[in-house]
Structure formats: structure tokens, C-alpha cells
């Protein structure tokens, strides 16, 4: 009887030991289906959340550790980082499940490029990553997983996707939602930031109003006037007249840009609220017409340009280079909603002991 009791006691002790060992196993953080996310990969997500906040401090010469003294979205900074890392991790599980559902996979070249990017960043941030417990292989896995979102998006809405958006629809969206413009501008402040005299302001506004009239009367083109204004401002800068050093991005060496056959126009979203005066000036204009306006102590003349003018071939090039970002604008909200629903329905097991153990403050290098 005593022997039997000893055996039972020993067996219970073994079970309890195994149970405790299981509970304290922090080598993994999340399990979902057949996938287990290791601590190293989770820590890569945690580092990403930390670095996004701490970089701002380091870039401005502040102590990165100061980030932990503030609240982010009404949360303790460290907790916000943990929550953000977990949310990103779950989303990437959803993305990879979605890839499998769509029959997608990473190419060898994509994996190689992801690894190169990971290795380059790891080498730059080795001290912080190693101190926080992130190995290079885990960091490479994190970078590979981070490609899944764009892979799924393309698999849905890109060419050949299950919800493919025709190129013509993207082009129509672009033309309906963006103003195509060229601009000349001149500051109404002097080199010290003080307001110009009323007389000097009048000189500038009269000159740019004259440009507007010349454009609207067909007496000069915007490109010609950009060159004229460039010479005016170069001359005035030597005498510190207070004009801005460049008319705008469209005024920089227009002749050279035309020789290179590039589109020198700017494209402004009709929903852009950063400069309401510009939007108001453009509303109601016909292509080819110009208007003037003031914003933030700068006087502007802006011309609304057609998409199908003599430089239509250059417009086509601009569209091709921005097609991907335009598609993101068109379908981004729908895509995010789909992913968020899938995240909510995702079945996961979270290792709370591991989550509690890993502290983003460990990434701080003293």
C-alpha cells in the first residue's frame, strides 16, 4: 500500500512538473491551425511596432527610451506596442491563409529580395535586435510574411485577379478624382519671414495676375511663363526681394524636363484638404484656364490642364507609374474591411506567458 501511494505521488509530481513546464514554455507565442509563430518572429513584429515610434525620437536627437513615457492612443506605450504587434501578426496569418485560398505563393526571387532587405536592416540594427531577442532568421521570416498583404491585394484586384479591376476603370478614377495642374508661386514674406510691404505685395500679385490673364487670353503658355518667373525670381533673389526661390515643382528647369520628355504637371486630389484655397480656385475652371489664389502667405497662379492634350503620351507614362497606388486608393478600404472581418473570425491560441515575458523596452540600447 505504501509503495502504491509513493508511485501515485511520484506520478502526480511528474504530471505537475510537465504541466508547469508547458505553461512556462515561451518559445512560441501564437498558434493558428497548423501554424505556430515562434517567439523570435513575434519579437520581430514587436520590434517593428517599437521602432516605428522610437525612430522619431532618435531622428530628432532625443533619447528613444522617452517613447515609453508617453501614451499612444490612450494606452501605455509598451502595451500599445504589444497590441500592435499582435494585431499585425494576426493579419499576416490571415494574409497567408488568403494566399493559400487564392493559390498564391512567393517566388524564389521575392523571398531572396525579402531576405536581402531583412539582412541589410538587421546589420544596421543588430545591437537593438539581438538585445531584444530577435535572430536574423526570424527577422527574415518576418520580412517574408510582410510581403503577403500586397501579394493578396494583387491576387484579388490586379491583372488576372479574382476581382480584377480593368485598367480603363483605374484611368477613369484617376481623371475623375485628380486635377492636373501647373503652378507658379511667389512668397509674400521676406527672407526673415516678415510680411512684405503692401507695395511689394502688390508688385507680386499684379505680376501673377498678369500671367493668369496671358494664359486665359491665349497670349502665353504656362511653360513660357514659368521660365519668365524663374528669371524674375533669380534676379530678385540677389537683391533679397523676398520672392520664393522656385515657382513650384513644375517651374524647375522646364526646358530640361521637356527635353527628357517627362510629365512636368502636378496631380492634386480633389478631396485634398491641405490647401482649400487651391481647390476653390480650381473648381469650375475649364481645362486650359488659370486662376490665382493666396495660401499661407504665398501667391499662386494655377492652370488646370487636360489629360488628352498634346502631351498625352507623357500623361500615359505618369498613369502607368502610378497605376498601382491608384488601385490601392480605389480598393484599399474594401480590402481592409475584408481582412478585418477575417481577423475577427481567426481562431488563435495565444501564449499569455510569452506575451507577458517579452518587453519592448529590451530593444533599447544603452
254: confidence class by pLDDT, cuts 50, 70, 90: very low
290: confidence class by pLDDT, cuts 50, 70, 90: very high
What's the mean pLDDT in 20-45?
88
10: confidence class by pLDDT, cuts 50, 70, 90: very low
Q: What is the pLDDT of residues 302-361, one digit of tens each?
A: 999 999 999 999 999 999 999 999 999 999 999 999 999 999 999 999 999 999 999 999
Res. 37: pLDDT tops 50: yes
b/e sequence 156-176, b meaning 16+ C-beta within 10 Å: bbbeeeeeebeeeebbeebee
Q: What is the sign, positive or negative, of the torsion defined by CA atoms of 64, 65, 69, 71? A: positive
- Which residues does 80 contact at the CB level (< 8 Å), separation at least 6? 49, 71, 72, 73
| Separation between Cα atoms, residue 317 and residue 356, nearest integer Å | 51
pLDDT given at position 59? 85
* Residue pair 290/212 in contact by the 8 Å Cβ criterion: yes
Res. 2: pLDDT tops 80: no
Where is 184: in which H helix or E strand?
strand 178-187
Cell 501511494 belongs to residue? 5
| Separation between Cα atoms, residue 278 and residue 267, nearest integer Å | 12
CA 136 to chain centre: 25
3-state SS record for 249-274: HHHCCHHHHHHCCCCCCEEEECCCCC
pLDDT given at position 241? 43
b/e sequence 192-219, b meaning 16+ C-beta within 10 Å: eeeebeeebbeebbebbeebbebbeeee
* CA distance from start to end of the chain: 61
Q: Would you give the DSSP letter of residue 125? A: T
What's the mean pLDDT in 131-158?
97
Q: What is the pLDDT of residues 113-126, one digit of tens each?
A: 999 999 999 999 99
CA 202 to chain centre: 40
Q: What is the pLDDT of residues 300-309, one digit of tens each?
A: 999 999 999 9
| Separation between Cα atoms, residue 125 and residue 39, nearest integer Å | 19
What's the mean pLDDT in 252-270?
72
Mean confidence (pLDDT) of the chain: 89
* Residue pair 187/294 in contact by the 8 Å Cβ criterion: no
Where is 72: in which H helix or E strand?
strand 71-72
* Residue pair 205/299 in contact by the 8 Å Cβ criterion: yes
- Sheet with 298-304, side-by-side order of all strands: 266-269, 178-187, 298-304, 290-295
Collapse the DSSP code of 36 into the 3-class scheme (helix H, G, I; strand E, B; otherwise coil) and give the result.
Answer: strand
174: confidence class by pLDDT, cuts 50, 70, 90: very high
* Residue pair 175/264 in contact by the 8 Å Cβ criterion: no
Res. 259: pLDDT tops 80: no
Where do the domains of the chain lie, and which CATH numbers do they carry? 21-164+331-360 (no CATH), 172-307 (3.10.50.40)
Res. 173: pLDDT tops 90: yes
| Separation between Cα atoms, residue 14 and residue 3, nearest integer Å | 16
Res. 256: pLDDT tops 50: no
| Separation between Cα atoms, residue 86 and residue 143, nearest integer Å | 16
| Separation between Cα atoms, residue 329 and residue 150, nearest integer Å | 13
Cell 499585425 belongs to residue? 88
* Residue pair 48/55 in contact by the 8 Å Cβ criterion: no
* Residue pair 362/47 in contact by the 8 Å Cβ criterion: no
Amino acid at each position: 500500500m505504501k509503495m502504491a501511494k509513493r508511485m501515485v505521488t511520484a506520478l502526480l509530481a511528474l504530471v505537475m512538473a510537465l504541466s508547469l513546464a508547458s505553461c512556462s514554455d515561451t518559445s512560441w507565442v501564437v498558434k493558428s491551425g497548423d501554424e505556430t509563430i515562434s517567439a523570435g518572429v513575434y519579437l520581430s513584429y514587436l520590434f517593428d511596432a517599437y521602432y516605428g515610434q522610437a525612430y522619431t525620437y532618435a531622428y530628432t536627437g532625443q533619447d528613444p527610451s522617452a517613447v515609453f513615457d508617453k501614451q499612444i492612443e490612450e494606452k501605455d506605450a509598451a502595451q500599445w506596442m504589444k497590441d500592435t504587434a499582435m494585431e499585425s501578426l494576426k493579419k499576416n496569418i490571415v494574409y497567408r491563409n488568403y494566399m493559400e485560398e487564392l493559390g498564391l505563393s512567393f517566388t524564389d526571387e521575392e523571398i531572396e529580395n525579402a531576405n536581402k532587405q531583412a539582412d541589410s536592416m538587421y546589420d544596421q540594427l543588430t545591437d537593438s535586435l539581438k538585445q531584444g531577442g530577435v535572430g536574423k532568421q526570424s527577422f527574415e521570416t518576418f520580412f517574408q510574411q510582410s510581403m503577403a498583404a500586397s501579394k493578396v491585394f494583387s491576387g484579388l484586384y490586379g491583372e488576372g485577379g479574382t476581382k480584377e479591376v480593368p485598367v480603363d476603370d483605374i484611368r477613369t478614377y484617376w481623371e475623375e478624382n485628380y486635377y492636373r495642374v501647373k503652378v507658379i508661386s511667389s512668397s509674400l514674406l521676406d527672407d526673415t519671414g516678415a510680411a512684405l510691404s503692401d507695395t511689394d505685395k502688390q508688385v507680386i500679385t499684379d505680376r501673377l495676375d498678369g500671367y493668369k490673364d496671358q494664359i486665359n487670353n491665349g497670349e502665353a503658355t504656362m511653360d513660357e511663363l514659368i521660365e519668365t518667373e524663374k528669371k524674375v525670381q533669380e534676379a530678385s533673389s540677389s537683391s533679397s526681394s523676398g520672392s520664393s526661390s522656385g515657382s513650384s515643382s513644375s517651374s524647375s528647369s522646364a526646358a530640361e524636363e521637356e527635353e527628357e520628355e517627362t510629365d512636368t504637371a502636378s496631380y492634386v486630389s480633389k478631396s485634398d484638404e491641405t490647401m482649400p484655397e487651391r481647390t476653390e480656385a480650381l473648381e469650375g475652371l475649364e481645362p486650359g484656364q488659370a486662376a490665382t489664389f493666396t495660401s499661407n502667405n504665398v501667391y499662386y497662379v494655377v492652370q488646370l490642364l487636360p489629360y488628352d492634350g498634346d502631351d498625352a503620351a507623357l500623361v500615359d507614362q505618369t498613369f502607368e507609374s502610378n497605376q498601382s497606388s491608384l488601385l490601392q486608393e480605389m480598393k484599399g478600404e474594401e480590402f481592409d474591411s475584408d481582412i478585418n472581418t477575417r481577423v475577427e473570425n481567426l481562431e488563435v491560441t495565444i501564449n499569455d506567458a510569452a506575451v507577458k515575458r517579452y518587453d519592448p523596452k529590451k530593444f533599447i540600447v544603452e
